[in-house]
Structure 1
Amino acid sequence: MEITKLSAHETLQLIRQKQLSPMEVIQAYMDCYTKYNPKLNAVCSLSDDVFQQAEKWEREAKNDNFYPLHGLPVGIKDVTPTANLRTTYGCKLYENHVPKEDALVVQRLKENGAIILGKTNTPEFATGGNTFNEVFGTTFNPWNPELSAGGSTGGGAAALASGMIAIAEGTDLGGSLRIPASFCGIVGLRPTPGLIPTYPSEYLWDDMQVTGPMARTAEDIAIVLDAVAGESPLSPMRQPTHGRQFLETVLKGIPAGTRVAYCSDIADIGIEDEVENLCRTASFLLREKGVEVEEIKFDLSFARKAFLHLRGEWMLIQQYKNIERRNEFGSNLLGNIDAGLKISARDLAMAHHDRAQTWYKFRSFFEKYDYLLTPCMAVPPFPAKQNYPLTIAGKEMKTYIDWVAPTFLLSLTSLPIGCVPCGLTQQKLPVGLQIVGKPTSEEHVLALAKLIQETSPIGLPSLEETLS
């Protein structure tokens, strides 16, 4: 039995049956960390009490006290504060920063039995769809270490796909949980803002960036939501769960006659043929499972400027206390802050107006369909040392963020959005498919993701081949 290739769901079952111990689990994951992290640079700071944490949950298991995430190794994105564990935000200004308090999501993970293995790499303050920074360098893709793992939760995705962790915590503003999920062949979920409250935060009423999970399977993400979702008095952004059972709903599956629409290019930026063919094939394969699938046109490109303006405002709020030191930041973060400083009140009014139109558009859409399926990325993974893909389907990209429009346009809606692997290119590189669900329907998005994983499986990367 290869422990690190088990799903989190399977691992938990074996721990509860006392066929596996938390110490055996953490040892297996630490072996992968020792073997693969020097080549992938996914985990940037290792917890110094990993085995002590495992011993605690070992004792609880011996006393038949089991917790929802009992003994699961988890990676925390290096923008999420962890008490007594370095949190650098991928920024030289914070290279030696050690928080005194855990973020709320970390508190909940720990309380529910998770083992915090360490921090996972991210671009500076999570700005960018490729993971590199001046503190720790570049994270590489387990499917091909010359290529990007995506971003900004790239370290978490690479660690998951290579068996260093069982669950990854991350954040998503414009696609940071979905882009690396697509590039690394795992499942990512951007939940409804407030479902997992973000505390602490420089932007308390933030309805753009969310905290969320990545895992190898849809069931694993549901397990995490059952443990960490729910409102908190620490945050004004709240999404009550009212007793929702995430895993139970996912395991029930979706009913026959579910109505799905597929759109190949919601951003009107073009898409590589091979990527589109894989996403289309996986979508229409669902018909064999009783799902109604129809191809439609669904253009959200009108909202591109809206996102960029709101992103600029978001960057100013998040970095307000550092604005006078912005010239010490890297080019991506500096560019975002400078763009924010140029935004007018009229720009923001237009942005909020156009954002509202995305909601109205989906409100009409859901009168006929249950889900929208669309490619997560327009390209497969590109060279890791490249900031962003220069062209898509022969079309030149104007800025480093244009290529992630398929994800950032959907962020405007505040709808639950999953990314699930749906196929491999001829070069054996994963391709992800986005699932957009109705408001506050995370468990149903995950149920469809589970079905897609079953009908279009891709497996895990052959690490002995790719990293030899």
Structure 2
Amino acid sequence: MSVDLSLIERSACEVVDLLREEAVSPHDLLDTLAAQVARVDPQVNALPTLCFERAHAHANALLKKPVAERGLLCGLPVPIKDLTDVAGVRTTRGSLVYRDRVPATSDAGVTLLEARGGVVYAKSNTPEFGSGGHTYNSVFGVTRNPWNPALSAGGSSGGAAAALASGTAWVAQGSDLAGSLRTPSAFCGVVGMRPSPGRVSYGPLANPFDTLGIHGPMARNVTDAALLLDAMCGEVDGAPLSLREPATSFLDHARRPQRPARVAFSEGLGIATVEPEILAICRKTMERLSTDGVSVEESDLDLSAATQAFHTLRGIAYATNYEDVLAQHRDVLNPNVIWNIEFGLQLDNRAMRSAQRTRAELFYKLNALLQRHDVLICPASIVLPFPVEARDIRDAVGQHFETYIDWLAITYALTLTGMPVIAIPCGMSASGLPVGIQIVGKPRGEAALLCAARAIEEIIGAWATGKPSVF
């Protein structure tokens, strides 16, 4: 066993360089992660299912190949969100319905990631079927925030974000519908990217033409997120929307940061009111950009029509995916999941038509803004991490939310547009909690978005006053 906890603080790109130089082996990394998981994960519950034996077997197979043939990640360990199948590994989707399920085959996205040299060693925690902005379920319990374990890590990729923040992952796979990559990134002080539909392929799915639910990368910085995005993207058989790999890697783009010339800033996209402390930190970030020569302009963008349209389209997705589950297992489902499915089942054609028209209007409205600006920036969450016992947010910043997901409107409004979005940390609250911004790019514009995000990350500089209390 070779454990070197100093590796935990290295970037994913640095670790991959060490793998290519054979200065470390995938086994060294797995042993180091196992030691870190044993030390810190009981306090956060980010990675409830471990598969180190499988990971070491995969590492052995990689090491039989020449270094040049070990793939883009060259043996870098990667945790997979518990919504996504990994062959031979317990995959529960956070639900009692699937608590003992061990799939025989992996999701196509996992197969691609492993072919690119990723080594799967754990499943990260998620709410049941990914349904919410707080990570808890009846199988594994709650995931806690490494900055303050009494608070939420966000959701639904909360386990992935908490693993990154607590040093039990260098990169992490996640997914996003209402903001599931972006909210936990804001809560835990990491980077989460929601790519364009089709950029990252996965499946099989009940509806392979869905463009709301997206898989994407999480990491501790923009460059590492770009590395994982490269490993996740590409055409996949059985994924009809999948896009080809770009001619120039996303990592190469991230390594050539380019300051955006014109930035539009919105306080709440016309749909959300943000806690004053969060807004003040985001505005301070805009001042830093202006001081560095970036033109920052206030935006009057109004995406308030997104709420009903998002609920309708999300409801259709839940009904499509889980109608049979509801019929057979209502007694063990989270009440919020039941509501989601039933809402979708009762929708009529008029509501569906209206939602599609609204979605088109929101796309064209945001696209017009992005013809005049390089990126749009807004807060990544309207609230700071909340106590784990709260389960969800129904009242905040003088607002009452009708549903358990409406506090996520600042992220789900952007979901509807299909634009690529990256969330990065930009500062800390007086209570020592991370605050993040969302940076929105043009359609299928991940390359330019990563260039801009890396430049903004450099301008922000050191945003934290210390490390997470659990690291």
- TM-score per shorter chain, which class? over 0.9
- Report the counterpart of residue 277 of structure 1 in structure 2: 280
Q: 1:53 aligns with which of 51, 54, 58?
A: 58
- Report the counterpart of residue 203 of structure 2 in structure 1: 199
Q: Secondary structure at the match of 1:222?
A: helix
Is 1:458 the counterpart of 2:458 in the alignment?
Answer: no
- Report the counterpart of residue 312 of structure 2 in structure 1: 309
How do 1:416-427 and structure 2 match up within 5 A?
416-427=420-431
- Report the counterpart of residue 10 of structure 1 in structure 2: 14
- Report the counterpart of residue 384 of structure 1 in structure 2: 388
How do 1:207-222 and structure 2 match up within 5 A?
207-222=211-226
- Residues 230-260 of structure 1, C-alpha deviations (whole Å, 9 max, x = no match): 12221112223342421111111115x6211
Scaled by the length of structure 1, the TM-score of the pair is 0.95
Is 1:240 the counterpart of 2:240 in the alignment?
Answer: no
- Report the counterpart of residue 326 of structure 2 in structure 1: 323
- Residues 275-313 of structure 1, C-alpha deviations (whole Å, 9 max, x = no match): 011111112312343322112221101121000011111
Q: 1:299 aligns with which of 291, 299, 302?
A: 302
- Report the counterpart of residue 339 of structure 1 in structure 2: 343
Letter in 2 for 1:112: R
Q: 1:109 aligns with which of 113, 117, 122?
A: 113
Contact 2:326–2:338, Cα closer than 8 Å, also in 1 = no
Structure 1 unaligned blocks of 5 or more: none
Contact 1:148–1:382, Cα closer than 8 Å, also in 2 = yes
Counterpart Cα distance in 2 of 1:336 and 1:244: 40
- Residues 40-92 of structure 1, C-alpha deviations (whole Å, 9 max, x = no match): 1110211132333334444546x665421122111100010110001101010
Letter in 1 for 2:153: A
User: Structure 1 residue runs of 4+, over 6 Å off?
Assistant: none
- Report the counterpart of residue 292 of structure 2 in structure 1: 289
Deviates more, 1:346-355 or 1:323-332: 323-332
Structure 1 pair 214–460 and aligned structure 2 pair: CA distance change class (3 A): farther
- Residues 375-396 of structure 1, C-alpha deviations (whole Å, 9 max, x = no match): 0100110011211224322323
Deviates more, 1:286-295 or 1:115-124: 286-295
Contact 1:171–1:209, Cα closer than 8 Å, also in 2 = yes
Contact 2:201–2:232, Cα closer than 8 Å, also in 1 = no
Structure 2 unaligned blocks of 5 or more: none
Is 1:224 the counterpart of 2:228 in the alignment?
Answer: yes
Q: In the TM superposition, what is the alpha-carbon distance from 1:333 to its structure 2 partner?
A: 0.6
Q: 1:449 aligns with which of 437, 448, 453?
A: 453
Q: Secondary structure at the match of 1:451?
A: helix
Letter in 2 for 1:318: N
- Report the counterpart of residue 22 of structure 1 in structure 2: 26
Deviates more, 1:454-463 or 1:314-323: 454-463
Counterpart Cα distance in 1 of 2:128 and 2:419: 26
Contact 1:422–1:452, Cα closer than 8 Å, also in 2 = no
Identity %, equivalent residues: 37
- Residues 375-427 of structure 1, C-alpha deviations (whole Å, 9 max, x = no match): 01001100112112243223233321110000001000111011011111011
Q: In the TM superposition, what is the alpha-carbon distance from 1:269 to its structure 2 partner?
A: 2.9
Is 1:161 the counterpart of 2:187 in the alignment?
Answer: no
Counterpart Cα distance in 1 of 2:308 and 2:315: 10
Scaled by the length of structure 2, the TM-score of the pair is 0.94
Give the alignment's Cα RMSD to 1 decimal: 1.8
Structure 1 pair 460–26 and aligned structure 2 pair: CA distance change class (3 A): farther
Counterpart Cα distance in 1 of 2:131 and 2:70: 38
Q: Secondary structure at the match of 1:101?
A: coil
Deviates more, 1:228-237 or 1:124-133: 228-237
Contact 1:185–1:460, Cα closer than 8 Å, also in 2 = no
